[in-house]
Every structure is written in structure tokens, then in C-alpha cells.
Structure 1
Amino acid sequence: MTQVTVVGIGRMGAPICACLVRAGHQVTASDADPARQAAARAAGAAWEPSAAVAAARCEVLVTVLPGPAEVSAVMGPAVVAALPPGATWIDMTSTSPQAAAEVRGRLAGRPLEAFEAPIGGSPRDAAAAGLRLFVGGDAELIARHRPLLEAVADPAKIVHTGGPGTGYALKLLVNALWFGQAVATAEALLLGRRAGVDLALMREVLADSAAGSAFVRHDLDALFAGDYLESFGLDHICEQLSLVASMADAHGTPHEVADSVRRLYARALDRYGPADGELLAVKLLEERAGLRLRP
């Protein structure tokens, strides 16, 4: 049994808490929003409104937060000072390597350890302990905490990506490519439908062609049913796509396609506000075409 504090009890944090409790760990939950207490209690975790107080009780601190600003706010001087000597911070947030490195630097000079494990998957995957983890950091440290990681993730999907920052980078790239595939596929389907091709036939052919992708094979059914995947907010999607552009600028690599995807999602954010929906940019394309992608 490990004393674990989880900070961030949202869509993913609450089921992660429940998985850790089921695995036999003693879990304390904390969130800036006091309304999240009910979700923490339902998951079987103790509740502590102060992240610093909760951090003082733990061997492992897990943060599951919306983005870099929230990580920076939580991992401030009070929480860092409260962590007991020998504690490990595991950050499961999708953020940029640069922002994370700045926060990780606050641990310098204290006997603390840290690694990143940003998550891939849905709240349903989290509830079933079937998440994918992009784990960056020291291999020995990660191996020591692997049983805890396996409490929330499919063991076959826990990938050690390399040193600090590589997990964050790979998770952002996976997201950027998925969003790009979603809008590119939607554009193709809208054009094909206008040209008189049956949608169901297009899905079948695309899935088994050189243009096939996980989006075509696994996510088009949701779109065809009118589900825009309300598991992530447009504002956070735009933030992540901006982080990809900033990362590319920092490394001197081109990002024209990523910028096009980012601009389209930014227009969707202007249209719908910070609503939940990973495919709301596709909805925007449908509106502009005057056509719904429904078989």
C-alpha cells in the first residue's frame, strides 16, 4: 500500500482515484473546486481541500490537471515545501516539456523525485484501468513505481519514451495528429458525399486503404451517430495545439499543417465557446458545407 495524493479530480482524475483505491493504495484527493469532493468520496478517496496539506501526507503525488497553468499553480512553493523527503511527483497532465521543466526545477535542492506520465484514453478507459501512459524520466525510478502505474493503465500501453520531457512531447504529437486526421477525414467525407459517394461505403474503403487511420476505424461511428466526443474542452484542445506550435518553433521545425489544424479549432472555439467536444471543429466544417456526416 502506498500513500497517494491525487490533485485534480475531474473527468480523468476521479476514475484514476477509484483505480488506485481498488489497487489497495491509501488515496487522498484534492481539487481547487470544492464541488469535486463528492466525486472523490464516491471513488473511495479521502478528501482534503488544501493541496499542500494533502501533499504533506503522501509518498506519491499524482497531478491530473487541465494544462500548464494549472500545474504551475498547484506545484507552487507551498506544495513543494510540504512534500515529505523521498516523495515522488508523477504528473499525468498533458503539457509542454518547456513548461514542465520550469516547474520541475522548483524541486531542485530537495530530496524529491519526479517523472511524467501524461495519459491517453477516455474517462471510460480510466474507469477500466485501461489508459495509455507516455512515461518520460529515469528508467529506474519509473520501474520502481510501475505497480502504481499498472493500477490505472493497461500494462502493454505503458511506454517509456525516454528522458524527462519526452512523454509530454509524444503525447502532444499524438493529440495533434489525431485532431488533424479528424478534420482532414471530415473534409474528404464531405467532398465525397457531395460527389455522390455513400458515406458508409467511404468509411469501409478508407479503413482498408492507404488512408486508413485509428480515427477512421474507431471514431467515425461516433461522428456518424452525431456524437462530437464531449470528453475534452475546445479551449484545452486549442491550448494543446498552440503548445505543439511553440514546441516546433523552439526546435526550428516546420508546422504548417499543425497551424492549419490549430486555426480551424480556434474558429470552432470562437463559434461554440469553451464547450466540450473533440470533434466540434468537424461540426464547424459540416455547418460550412450545409451537410451533416450521417449515413
Structure 2
Amino acid sequence: MTKVGFIGLGTMGLPMTKHLIDAGYTTFVVGRSRGPVEKAVAYGATEAASPKELMEKVDIVMTCLPVPQSIMDVYEGENGLIAGASDGKIVIDHSTVDRTTNEHVARLLQEKGALFLDAPVSGGPMGATAGTLTIMCGGLEQTFEKALPFMKAFGEYIVHVGPTGSGTVVKLLNNMLIGVHQSALAECYIMAEKAGVDPAIAYDLIKRSAGFSKSMDWSVDAILDRKFDPRFSINLLHKDIKLALQLAEEVNMPLELIKLGEQKVAEAKEKYGDQDVCAIVRPLEEKTGTILKRRIKKGN
């Protein structure tokens, strides 16, 4: 198999597509926005007229879309992926959606003889650009083995978790923790500032201590330099936490801390939803009258 299709040319999907092209795969794309499509074509991709046509041209299709409804729009309908599916073709969904959506499209594809993996990714646009994404996969192990060479074009740590929906479960676990971590870090950094300690120094020491989380690496420089451009927006994080809470109800699991984190994320979403998740700090800055900025040391 050498022909691959990609749908969802956003901040994650476009660099992932470029890695596929650079790896030597004949690559077809479909997109709503002309800018990303034209960039993909400039990299060496070929534009298809519809998801159906794309599916008919390739051996394997990858999608990376923002919300469950986007999956339905691309997969279903007379010009959707499922309409063009046939025996032996593989569809990999790198979106963060919900287990029910995974199971639904997997069932429809199976009826056409096609195979499906839910394979959400972690690592942000930086990881997509560097080709170092973590990919968590749900589906048949045989399908995973067939798809693995393609995912290695942009993934560094790629794991088969279990049956359909398993990759999505792990991704939702990850993202619900991001909400808690970023909310706690907002309190941590502002408390440091109000107590007279440079948050950058506190971060440096905590990074070498037991309280560290990777979310600190994501947030501290962006906060102190006031750079809130969305690498991963608060809107998308809130969507993922709500999906995690939905899953918790399905499995009868109380999530008290996650619900508190969701409240903090929802509060930040009201005013800063389009900004990066580290902007969760901003409502607390406003409440405390404390704006975090990088300190300029004497002599610099």
C-alpha cells in the first residue's frame, strides 16, 4: 500500500500530511479551506473532489477533525468516506471524539469490508511538525500492524491499546487531566508571584521535584511571555473534558476533581475560548489583580 488520503488539514493535520509526503507516499487531500489545501498541494499532495473520491483513490485514509459532528459530515452521506469504502481499505481517525462515534463509523465501514482504527494523537502542533507524536490506537491488532508504517511517518510512540474506542478512552483520560493540571498551575504560578517568588524560578525547581507535570513545560513560557496564540485551544479542551465526563457516566465513574477542572476551563472559555489552554490562568489573574510576566533581571 502506497497511496494515502488525509482529511483535516489544520494545525495538526497539515504537518502530518507533509510527513506522509516526505516519506514517499502518494498523498491525496480534501479540505474546506483553500489555504491549507494549497499548502498541501505545494508539498506534493493531490486534491480530491470529495471524501468519497479520495477513498476510492487510496489504500488508507486518515482523518483529523475537531468534533464528532465533523466526523459525521466527512464519513456519511453520498459523497462521504463510507460511500467510497471497499474491501480491505483502512481508515484511521486521529480526531479526539467519543467512543460511540468510533464504534458507529467502524461498524459502517465493516459493512463495506473496510477496516478502522481510532488513533488520537498527543504532542500538539510542535509534535506534529517534528514528527514525534504519541498515538494511541483502538481496533483490531491486524489492522494496527498494517497501518503502523504509515503512522510512523509522524509518530514516535505508537501503541495498540485494545478494541475499537480504546485509543479514544486513553486520549480523553489525558485531556481531562490537562484541565486539572492547567487549573492547578494557574493557582501555583499566581501564588508564587503573590508570595514574592519569581514563577520562573519556582517552575525551574518544581521541574526537578515530585510536583512536576508536563503541563508546566507547555504553559510557563507562554504565560510569562503573554503568548496565548492557540496551540490547543480552551474551546477544544472543554469539548474533550465534556466527552470524558460523558464517558464517566457511561461507566458509572464519579469524577469530582475533573468536574472542578471542567468548571475552571468553562470559566476561562467564556472570555478566552479561542486562546491556548494556558490562558486558563487569565480569569484568576483578573480575580487576584496579579498579571504574570517574565521578570527582567538586573544587568540584562
TM-score under structure 1 length normalisation:
0.93
CA distance in 1, matches of 2:229, 2:254: 29
1:226 aligns with 2:223: no
Deviations along 1:59-99, one digit per CA (max 9) or x if unpaired, are 10111111211112111043212123210000100111122
1:64 aligns with 2:61: no
CA distance in 2, matches of 1:149, 1:37: 21
CA distance in 1, matches of 2:206, 2:128: 29
Deviations along 1:186-212, one digit per CA (max 9) or x if unpaired, are 112212321223323321332222211
- Aligned partner of 1:275 in structure 2 is 274
**After alignment, is 162-171 or 100-109 more displaced?**
100-109
Give the 3 Å change call, closer, same or farther, for CA 166–111 of structure 1 in structure 2.
same
- Aligned partner of 2:148 in structure 1 is 146
Letter in 2 for 1:27: T
The two structures, once aligned, show a CA RMSD in angstroms of 1.7
- Aligned partner of 2:241 in structure 1 is 241
CA distance in 1, matches of 2:203, 2:33: 42
Is the partner of 2:228 in helix, strand or coil? coil
Deviations along 1:20-55, one digit per CA (max 9) or x if unpaired, are 011111100001334432122133211124111111
- Aligned partner of 1:256 in structure 2 is 256
CA distance in 1, matches of 2:144, 2:264: 38
CA distance in 2, matches of 1:28, 1:4: 6
> Aligned-pair distance for 1:19?
0.5
The aligned length equals 292
**After alignment, is 71-80 or 223-232 more displaced?**
223-232
Q: Is the 8 A contact 2:16 2:154 kept in 1?
A: yes
**After alignment, is 231-240 or 5-14 more displaced?**
231-240
Is the partner of 2:111 in helix, strand or coil? coil
Deviations along 1:272-291, one digit per CA (max 9) or x if unpaired, are 3x413121211222222211
CA distance in 2, matches of 1:215, 1:28: 35
1:42 aligns with 2:42: yes
Q: Is the 8 A contact 1:136 1:166 kept in 2?
A: yes
CA distance in 2, matches of 1:35, 1:181: 34
CA distance in 2, matches of 1:199, 1:109: 55
Letter in 1 for 2:269: L
Q: Is the 8 A contact 1:59 1:84 kept in 2?
A: no
> Aligned-pair distance for 1:218?
5.1
1:294 aligns with 2:296: no
Letter in 1 for 2:14: A
- Aligned partner of 2:168 in structure 1 is 168
CA distance in 1, matches of 2:16, 2:218: 24
Q: 1:1-295 to 2 correspondence within 5 Å? A: 2-78=2-78, 79-154=81-156, 157-217=157-217, 219-228=219-228, 230-272=230-272, 274-295=273-294
Identical-residue share of aligned pairs (%): 26
Letter in 1 for 2:162: G
For structure 2, the residue ranges without an aligned partner over 5 or more in a row are 295-300
Letter in 1 for 2:239: E
CA distance in 1, matches of 2:290, 2:211: 22
**After alignment, is 47-56 or 192-201 more displaced?**
192-201
For structure 1, the residue ranges without an aligned partner over 5 or more in a row are none
**After alignment, is 250-259 or 233-242 more displaced?**
233-242
Q: Is the 8 A contact 2:102 2:164 kept in 1?
A: no
**After alignment, is 165-174 or 260-269 more displaced?**
260-269
> Aligned-pair distance for 1:106?
1.6
CA distance in 1, matches of 2:217, 2:88: 45
